[in-house]
Amino acid sequence: MLSRDKLLHPATVIALVALFVSLGGASYAAVTIGTGQIRNGAVTGAKLSKGSVSGTKLRNGAVTNAKIGRGAIGASKFARGAVGAAALAGRAVGSSAIAPGAVGATALANGNVGTAKLADRAVTSTRLGDGSVTSGQLLDGAVTNSKLGSGSVTSSKLGSASVGTNSLADSAVTTGKLADTAVTTAKIADGSVSTARLAPGAAVSGVGSVFHTSLTLTSGQSGVILQQVPSLGTLVASCAAGVTTTQWNNDTSGTIGIEYAGVNAPGTAFADHFNPPSGGMVPANPSAGGSQSLTWQVNAGDGAAAHVATVEVSDSVAGTSCVVVVQSISS
């Protein structure tokens, strides 16, 4: 045995260590080389075998932006919803990155779709809201006749003096379209007003009027008023089996002067004159067959208060009835 007091020679110690290493081999090194035995920076990229660094080997936050190569992260690496708006750089999303139909109405901010973004004819009728097309959106002359709905142009839509003569259809202006007193003297062509157009009592010159009427009396009718002339009396007629007789009634307050002249049915002339007082009556006496035509001349007063009437009466037979036509002028 060796003496406790005797120390081993250094060379002997080294030889023993070498012997132990050779006998234990790599297994000794694996169990004996810990973190403390590895020098900082000793494990280089070349020392790591391919695929040896798994996710569990990475410390949270260890993979920084600088550690990620350009183009290294593919689409499959993103979790759904992982890329928020804050992660996108300005103008980062190009047209090719947007799928067809991906941009819905809710994704557009108000006022973002300008004219340049609209394709030709992209805005159809269904895209327009009711009342959205104002006057400012219409080109001059864009609203043609075919664009107007039936009855859509009301009087409130017409500007002052906008309807000219050429815009009126023939016979479009009926009596109902004329305002009271709208037809003045200047609007009436010369010679266009006939006797038939004048209403009873219508003034023709100074203080006067003209009158026209046509009546059919059945046999047996009597005392039918043909005309009432103010301040001069009333002309009445009767019919008996086709024979007409006329009579002037003085229903004024004074005496009047009457003359009549005519031709009876056989063609014989007759005439007479009278001055009946108030309430008096003067029948025309055409003798046999009744009259064919008769003129009454009636007057009353003198000077500025004078009144005169000329009444033309013609009659004809219709079976047993009498057709009477009266025209007169009075002042």
- Reference 291, options 328, 246, 258; nearest CA is 246
Rg (the chain; Cα; Å): 63
Q: Which domains does the chain have, with CATH numbers?
A: 198-330 (2.60.40)
pTM of the entire predicted model: 0.41
- Reference 299, options 325, 274, 326, 323; nearest CA is 274
Q: Read off φ and ψ for residue 180, nearest 5 degrees.
A: -55, 140
How crowded is residue 210: how many other Cβ atoms within 10 Å of its Cβ?
17
Check: CB of residue 245 under 8 Å from CB of residue 281. Answer: no
Q: Which of 178-187, 230-239, 285-294 has the lowest mean pLDDT?
A: 285-294
| pLDDT tens-digit readout, 91-128 | 777 777 787 877 777 777 787 777 888 888 878 878 88
| pLDDT tens-digit readout, 7-21 | 556 666 566 656 555
For the residues 266-273, what does the mean pLDDT come to? 88
Round to whole Å and give the CA distance between 27 and 302.
166
Mean model confidence pLDDT for the chain: 80
Strand ordering across the sheet containing 224-229 = 224-229, 233-240, 243-249, 281-283
Q: Read off φ and ψ for residue 68, nearest 5 degrees.
A: -95, 120
In the chain, the amino acid numbered 2 is: L
Handedness of CA 106, 111, 117, 119 (dihedral sign): positive
For the residues 238-250, what does the mean pLDDT come to? 93
Q: Which two tokens stand for residue 138?
A: 């219409």
Tell me, rounded to whole angstroms, the distance of Cα 271 from its chain centroid. 72
According to the model, what pLDDT value does residue 2 have? 46
The pLDDT-based confidence of 28 (bands split at 50, 70, 90) is very low
* pLDDT over 90, % of the chain: 26
| pLDDT tens-digit readout, 272-299 | 999 999 999 999 977 666 778 899 999 9
